[in-house]
Chains A and B, each alone.
Chain A
Amino acid sequence: MKESSVLKVLIADDTDSDRLILESIVKKEGHITISVANGVQAVEAYEAEHPDIVLMDALMPELDGFGAARQIKALAGEELVPIIFLTSLNDAESLVKCLDAGGDDFLSKPYNRFILQAKIKAFSRMRDMNITMQDQRDQISVYNNQLLQEQSVAKHVFDNIAHTGCLDASNVNYLLSPLAVFNGDIIVAAMRPSGGMLVLLGDFTGHGLPAAIGAMPLASVFYGMVQKGFSMVDILREINQKLKQILPLGVFCCAGMVDFDFTKKRVKIWNGGLPDCFIYHAESKELQMVKSTHLPLGVLDDNSFNDDYETVEMLDGDRLFVWSDGIIESRNKNDEMFGEDRLKNIFTNNEYPDGLFESIVDNVQLFLGMESRDDDVSMIELKMVPQDSVITKAKNLVHNRSVGLVEWAMTLELEPSTFRIFDPLPLLLNILVEVPGLRRYSGELYSILAELYSNALEHGVLALDSSWKQSGEGFSKYYEERESRLAQLIDGFVHIHLSHKIDDSGGKLLIRMTDSGDGFDVAGTPSELLANNVMNSGRGIPLVKSVCESVEYNSIGNQVDAIFVWQEE
């Protein structure tokens, strides 16, 4: 508060004695005065001196107070320069004239010193506030522009990652405002190498950049994995994990994911937090709902994540609708909600299924009115059609289940210098999960590799006896011995051979592990014993046996073939 600051006060009064009195009153408050005797001089003095406050006599020669006030106010523009009219006019009409001319207050004659001083103080405060307000407004304007800049950069990055995929396909209609990403809305769609279509509609919590940030890794993971042939479940799980990892606590993504199979005429739907998906059966005109039965993405960790989905048969001509809550929750000027009933009615009243989508869009826009924002009204319509009639400019239109690591073989040969210090299992697992069909079995595959490798290394190459592991001290003796034998080992090897082929229903992975040990009496060991974990030679392989289609040893017992079979979902 600058109440004690010195002000420049312009005094315009055509009476000499009155001017003298005003000058003295104002100077006594410590302010500086500029005195003029008519309106023209008043305006000139304003331009030259830029006073903080003006005391203006109403009636003056040349240009009266009203005229001078108008000109000064015009010159001041946005700046608040208070004008206090000095007048012994006391009829209402004249006082109104003062205000109309831009006057902010009056001071009547005879002048009361205290009243004038109080008014000057009050207007000075007002003037300060006005200056502060304008500064803040200018700052806000600058920040706002910066924000818009940042948003447009973010949008640019986003557009590069979250391209439209196959949203241009002939059986797809969608509504997504260009700035929807800043409302947390996203739609991604891509053709699977096998010919189906995967679509995800997401609604992130929040607004602005924070809402847009989650969309980028989501789109990146989605498009990256689809083209490699991964399934809906694989992709959902990966996206959930990624979002859980990077989003702050409390931020999540309500989402619906759809796997459209044009050949089997089937749709798999996973709904976590979106409103009911509608399936409109063209012939029966029946409306089927798929409710949200899952928590949104980014909430649960991978262990708790539920990837169960609903499977629905759809004939050619049937349509699936997925939307964010922006439609049902949109409110018009009277604060009424669009609501699910209104939405259902559009279907009930519809005569022409091809026009359903337009009809919904029109209804919503009519309801909302012209001026309202609709950048959180996002929806997609997918029509079931014959496989060949799906036309899209998108890449990956290869109708081929064979994509990614399909038929291949590799051998990893490990020598003592390596297996002394290196655990090959994570490396092997990394390769295996790049095979779309094997990814969801990563747990089992790890266990298989672990059991077989441990046998090959410890019982084969190092010739350790597992019976030591039975007792407490035997246990530590076993591991001490393991360390020392490993350190002293000069010759020896473990060869891990993997080969993979696919067939009509899925695929087969062969895991062959060979070690340089002496083997064991294969012929003399009943298979039940092999399934047991407790054996003299320690070659118990209970898990391997339970999960693999077959497990066979060579005659010496230093090579094992485990065959793991997987089915297409």
Chain B
Amino acid sequence: MGIQSHFSEDGQELIISIQGRFDFSAHQNFRNSYESVEGTPSVYNIDMNETTYLDSSALGMLLLLRDHAGGNSSNIKIINCSADVKKILTISNFEQLFTIQ
């Protein structure tokens, strides 16, 4: 399970990629990926292309990110979701808080 983050060219977007299982063990790494970067991105892209699994603690971590990114004024996209990941996000209606692609 690996989590990496990097800025877009214009420095406005922070892209966080999550490989493997996104569960409770990813807690510290996920927080580091957005807390320890320099600069304040206006958009966050969570790339789930290589995410194999997502559970409710992952949903909780997304809520933490959302709060960090400004709560209601945050702009967070969750992209490249597999069908399984999308299903979990949909049941919890997280598309009401995040843009899901």
Contact = CB atoms under 8 A, between A and B. Distances in A.
Classify A-B as touching or not with yes or no (CB < 8 A). Answer: yes
Interface of A: 205-206, 249-252, 254, 272-275, 292-296, 299, 304, 325
Contacts of A206: 56-57
A272 B60 contact: no
B73 interface: no
Contact of B60 (A252, A273, A325): A252
The 9 closest A-B pairs by CB, nearest first: A250-B60, A205-B56, A273-B92, A250-B63, A250-B64, A295-B93, A292-B91, A249-B67, A249-B64
Contact of B92 (A249, A250, A296, A304): A296
Contacts of B97: 295, 299
B60 A251 contact: yes
A251 B56 CA distance: 9
B63 A293 contact: no
A252 B96 CA distance: 15
Contact of A293 (B56, B61, B93): B93
B12 to A, nearest CB: 25
B76 to A, nearest CB: 14
Nearest to A295: B93
Nearest to B96: A295
A249 B64 CA distance: 6
Interface in B33-58: 56-57
Contacts of A274: 91
A275 B57 CA distance: 17
B63 A249 contact: yes
Given A205-B56, A206-B57, A254-B56, A273 B93 contact: yes
Given A249-B60, A252-B63, 19 more contacts: A205-B59, A205-B60, A249-B64, A249-B67, A250-B59, A250-B63, A250-B64, A251-B60, A254-B56, A272-B93, A275-B91, A292-B92, A293-B93, A294-B93, A295-B93, A295-B94, A295-B96, A295-B97, A296-B92
Interface of B: 56-57, 59-61, 63-64, 67, 72, 91-94, 96-97
Contacts of B64: 249-250
A474 to B, nearest CB: 37
Q: Most chain-B Cβ atoms within 10 A of its Cβ — which of A251, A252, A299?
A: A299
Main secondary structure of the interface of A (DSSP, over half): loop
A304 B66 CA distance: 15
28 contacts: A205-B56, A205-B57, A205-B59, A205-B60, A249-B60, A249-B63, A249-B64, A249-B67, A250-B57, A250-B59, A250-B60, A250-B61, A250-B63, A250-B64, A254-B56, A254-B92, A273-B93, A274-B91, A275-B91, A292-B91, A292-B92, A292-B93, A294-B93, A295-B92, A295-B96, A295-B97, A299-B63, A325-B91
A325 B54 CA distance: 14
A273 to B, nearest CB: 5
Contacts of A304: 72
Nearest to A274: B91
Contacts of A249: 60, 63-64, 67
A275 B90 CA distance: 10
A339 to B, nearest CB: 12
A273 B94 CA distance: 9
A478 B94 CA distance: 49
A468 B57 CA distance: 58
B44 to A, nearest CB: 16
B31 to A, nearest CB: 11
Nearest to B88: A325
Contacts of B59: 205, 250, 252
A233 B92 CA distance: 19
Nearest to B63: A250
